[in-house]
A and B are shown apart, each in its own frame.
Chain A
Amino acid sequence: MFKVASLLMTPAAKYLMLAFAILFPLVAANEYQVYVMATAFVWAIAVYGLNIITGFCGQLNLAHGGFFAIGAYTLGLLTADYGWSFWPAFLGALVMTAVLGFLVGIVSLRLKEHYFAIFTLCVGFIIYLLIDKWEELTHGAIGVRDIAAPYGFGLVDFTDTTPFYYLVLAFLVLAIWFMGRLSKSLLGRTFIAIRNGDELAQSLGINLMRNKVLAFVLSTTYAGLAGALYAGMVRFIGPEEANINHTFDMITYLLVGGIGTIMGPLLGTVGIVWITQSLQFLEEYRMIIFGPLLVLLVIFFPRGITGSFLTWMHRKSQALAPTKKRQEKKVNTAQNREAESNA
């Protein structure tokens, strides 16, 4: 069991997952499944953003869904109302969410813990209300139609589901790669230090405000990226994209997958999206299951699938270590300790 499980820790497992993702449209039963998978990937990108600020930096950001909507609306309005083509508007969406993230960050991150969570909850709601009421700009409840699809430079047609799926996959791989690099870098460790203790981090000479704002801007840019892709895929958006429930959904994905881990957001999002899909009749009442699930998870498995798995691997390898060669043990525990500290 342990040996099989430890295979999952090898780099080969990553490439296997990637290969499966690339082959997925070929083995999928119909186009709809590809579409669902692409949606799951879009959400996963946003959840990676939430993972940076909440998982690594320890600040519960409840405005994340709002920034997703800002990304979607920036792209939608620029292409539908102002005649931009997709890719410039796409960049515009990233810049917009980064700038707004910076502005919200420098105000909200002066607050700690509960105050930050409540403040961002309010920010999320302001975003929703503005989108819903500012009809001159956002069309209000009618929503935005005629959003441009990504321009394929004459090579591919992104209005088809499968090419779009690969586009999303490419961005997802990029997002995960960046996340992996971040978690190993000094910056990522700085974020973790802030999560583990504000005051201790500060006494180590970490500039709290600058690092927290950086984490926040990174996370909102991820959300904006996901939102822009979403708008390009669905090509019709409304104020409901900013609904606070989307933020709650993303927290569920993050928590189920494993908060503060590298693969957690992907596993949690894809897993839950497919479970919800296969239980279509639950759509409206899914929270009857997910609400208590969220509570049970934080009580019994606060580290989610990935975190619990890593902890279990760590314990197992500790138990087996004496029978193995010394060198191997060293490498193993060093790796696992890193994994655990990330978890």
Chain B
Amino acid sequence: MSLFLQQIVNGLTLGSIYGLVALGLTLVYGILHIPNFAHGALYMVGAFMSYFFMVDLGAHYWIAMAGSAAVVAVLAILCERLVFHPLRHSPPIHDKIAAIGILLFLEAVVQMFWGSDFRRMSSPFTGIMNFDGLIIPEQRLLIIAGAFVLVVALQLFLRKTMTGATIIAMAQSWDGAFLVGIDANRVAMMTFAISGMLAAFAATLYAPINLVYPAMGHLVIMKAFVIIILGGMGSVPGAIAGGMIIGFAEALGGFYISTSYKDIIAFGLLVLILSVRPQGLFAKGAH
């Protein structure tokens, strides 16, 4: 029983991380209809920035996280301004290829500065909590709590503030948003900034129980794509629900089926679901 609960905790942890990354992706998709393949690179840069602030500059974990979020937010805004904005009238295939260009560039730059070695990043939360036989490392609790706080904060921002409302308005209808005088550029930049920050937070939360290396974004971004397809592209609750589905499927599948194939589970699930329902699990219309 406690082994099962242990897997539940693992699933929650993974689901939280995937959910955060997928949230950023789904926000950008909802506004600009761009599948941002470079999002995984932003996640990776987020981890390296935290590593840089903590190890090279000796900053505290929280300060490193904030610094990394700021850097990645600026980077995401630059991507929007320099790449996606000029391409807004191009065929969709161009956005995708440009996003791949950004991904390749960011990875190569990080590799140039830090090399392709695997690095370990420590965190001040190394303790272990014991709930009557159920052992939970503090960092995992922090991930679950952190993701929860971020999701609630994002919801409050989107629902209760004027700026958040402009993002939702743009996602619902471009024309309607323009009619009431919403500045599309501002909303686009803000959406990219938020999505970059979420990626940086997720990376900094997850890095201490994982490793930091230039290719670390690959798997995460692909799983995030699986998640937003499952959850319906552009849907915020869908991203969170999809993140949890994939997180649990991986934790339980990795434990009960096979560890070495656990990374395939998410993709296998996607292939299976899309074979039966090409429009995804939660989406209503056809694509």
A interface residue numbers (CB < 8 A to B): 54, 58, 60, 107, 110-115, 117-119, 121-123, 125-126, 129-130, 133, 244-245, 248, 251, 255, 284-288, 290-295, 298-299, 302
Contacts and interface: CB of A to CB of B under 8 A. Distances in A.
Question: Which of A107, A291, A302 has the most chain B CB within a 10 Å cutoff?
Answer: A291
Contacts of A129: 261, 263-264, 267
23 contacts: A60-B96, A107-B274, A111-B287, A114-B33, A115-B274, A115-B278, A118-B229, A119-B229, A121-B37, A122-B225, A122-B226, A125-B218, A129-B263, A133-B264, A251-B97, A251-B100, A284-B111, A285-B112, A287-B104, A291-B102, A292-B105, A298-B97, A298-B101
A133 B29 CA distance: 33
Nearest to B37: A121
A118 B274 CA distance: 12
Given A114-B35, A122-B226, A294-B98, A299 B105 contact: no
A285 B93 CA distance: 25
Contact of A288 (B97, B112, B275): B112
Contact of B260 (A114, A133, A293): A133
Interface stretch (B69-77, B84-92, B163-171): B84-92
User: Which one of B33, B108, B112 has the highest number of Cβ atoms from chain A below 10 Å of its Cβ?
Assistant: B108
B103 interface: yes
B64 interface: no
Contacts of B229: 115, 118-119
B60 interface: no
A110 B278 contact: yes
Contact of B271 (A123, A133, A285, A295): A123
A126 B271 CA distance: 10
B268 interface: yes
A122 B271 contact: yes
A113 B92 contact: yes
Contacts of A112: 287
B278 A111 contact: yes
Given A125-B267, A299-B98, A107 B275 contact: yes
Contact of A60 (B33, B93, B102, B270): B93
B94 interface: yes
B209 interface: no
